[in-house]
Amino acid sequence: AQSVTQPDIHITVSEGASLELRCNYSYGATPYLFWYVQSPGQGLQLLLKYFSGDTLVQGIKGFEAEFKRSQSSFNLRKPSVHWSDAAEYFCAALITGGGNKLTFGTGTQLKVEL
């Protein structure tokens, strides 16, 4: 079955430390891939997306993600985390030919220690 997996439910990092959030997908073909962030009581904000081409994509707020076909992964990274990055992060996939149906991972809750 087509699915998106985020293995880490909660992650705690210290402010200024580096961050990597994991995302794996299970699809027959390479889907379009997205990372969204959600602050409490808010909607989802797009951080970055991968459709094709360069496997390292840059997003907003200093985030980047690397697509690795061999590992079916699309991990999100940030070199230095700020306290304002505390939020929930969702990886999502959209299969081509499937309209606009996004399949989301279960999310990773990021806590930042000052």
Partner 1 sequence: KAGVTQTPRYLIKTRGQQVTLSCSPISGHRSVSWYQQTPGQGLQFLFEYFSETQRNKGNFPGRFSGRQFSNSRSEMNVSTLELGDSALYLCASSPSLEETQYFGPGTRLLVL
State the residues that interact with partner 1 by CB under 8 A: 32, 34, 36, 41-46, 49, 90, 92, 94, 96-107
**Any idea how long the chain is?**
114
Give CA–CA dist 46/63, Å, rounded: 11
* Nearer Cβ to partner 1 (42/84): 42
88 near 108, Cβ under 8 Å? yes
Q: For residues 11 and 95, which CB has a smaller minimum distance to partner 1 in the complex?
A: 95
Nearer to partner 1, 18 or 96 (CB): 96
Distance, in Å, from the CA atom of 62 to the CA atom of 79, rounded to the nearest integer, reads 8
Q: How far apart are CA 112 and CA 114, in angstroms?
A: 6
Q: How far is the CB of 72 from partner 1 (least distance, A)?
A: 20
Smallest gap, in angstroms, from Cβ of residue 39 to partner 1? 10
- For the CB of residue 18, give the shortest distance to partner 1 in the complex, in Å: 27
CA nearest to 31, candidates 18, 50, 5: 50
Q: Rounded to the nearest whole angstrom, what is the least distance from the CB of residue 100 to partner 1 in the complex? A: 5
